[in-house]
Amino acid sequence: LKEQLTVYYTDCLEKTVPGGKMTRGLTVVRGIEVLKGRVLTEQEFFDAAVLGWQVEWLQAFFLVADDIMDGSITRRGNPCWYKYPHVTQDNGINDSLFLENLIYKSLRRHLKKHPSYVQFLELFIDTTHQTEIGQHIDTNGTPYAEGKRAPLDLTRFTLDRYRGCVRYKTCYYSFYLSCALALAYCEVPEDSELYVKADAVCMRLGEYFQIQDDYLDAMAPPEVLGKIGTDIEDAKCSWMVCQALQLASEEQKQILVDHYGKHDPEGVEKVKQLYRDLNLEKIYHDYEEEQKVACDELIAAIEPESFQELFKFLLGKIYKRQK
């Protein structure tokens, strides 16, 4: 039995954790290096790597669960974990919980004696809670009633609702968590202004990152993106549909009424053509340049200046990304 479990969960980890850009994990290591202002000792690097991998396990936990909720087919160019014949949805749900549990097992094993151990725990607990709230908002862009989706209500797709969803679903776990873990590891007091400044930049970066995701989900070829986008079929409150609703004529809005949220390839293509007709590609690229300037200004205002390097590293990772 032990051998069976070892083989199964080794396969699970190898298929669900690697394969991405590892930006979240690398940010922890880079953040500690920046804050220390020197090359890390062997022990410091090991600790930083452990924290980085724990963030990547958190990401894997969210993605395995998210793919099941969205009915996704592929992830990072491969089948979603639950789509493997020996896994299925039943195991996939349990495996997502297993991945989450590894974070706390690993923290206890490697960092229990660190002065910031409790703060590490609180950061992971709080971030998981925030992300799960964001996931609920995302999943219920069109709510459920009597066991099935309620009729599409386009009035729910507003930029205000979208920004609230993004803050909780993406900003905290994709950006702030890694920065806060680095600060905590370096024993920066929890009431330090650095956490506030990190939060401000991370919220801006996170919104930019999620809008990129929404644009790429609709417009990037699956072979480039590494997955088949399903935001249109899943009736997501995405940046693309929010923008379309602001710009569309009544006749064009009818295309969304008729086809948004339906698993029909021809209908999905009609929605994408509407996005093209409304010139959302140019609007997106203009937004991207505006966000780059805004992020640069926020980063330049951070003191100490050395801490700016971490956010320049993050911005460099996501600016003009294609997947």
Which residues fall within 8 angstroms of residue 33, CB to CB, at 6 or more apart?
A: 39, 40, 48
Strands 78-79 and 74-75: antiparallel
Instruction: Please report, as a single letter, which amino acid is at residue 220.
Output: A
HSE-CB of 92 using CA atoms within 13 angstroms: 24
- Local structure of residue 115 (DSSP, 8 states): T
Cα-based distances in Å from 21 to 26, 56, 119, 199: 9, 10, 26, 22
Cβ atoms of 211 and 167 within 8 Å: the answer is no
Closest CA to 76 of 22, 2, 138, 137: 22
Cβ atoms of 278 and 247 within 8 Å: the answer is yes
HSE-CB of 186 using CA atoms within 13 angstroms: 22
Categorise residue 33: left if φ over 0, alpha if ψ from -120 to 50, beta otherwise. Answer: alpha
Give 3-state DSSP helix, strand, coil % of the chain, rounded to 5. 75, 0, 25
Name the residues annotated as catalytic: 21, 61, 66, 70, 75, 138, 169, 209, 213-214
Which residues fall within 8 angstroms of residue 63, CB to CB, at 6 or more apart?
A: 16, 75
Quickly tell me which residue has 């339906």 as its tokens.
262
Cα-based distances in Å from 105 to 50, 82, 102, 111: 11, 24, 5, 10
Closest CA to 174 of 47, 62, 264, 16: 62
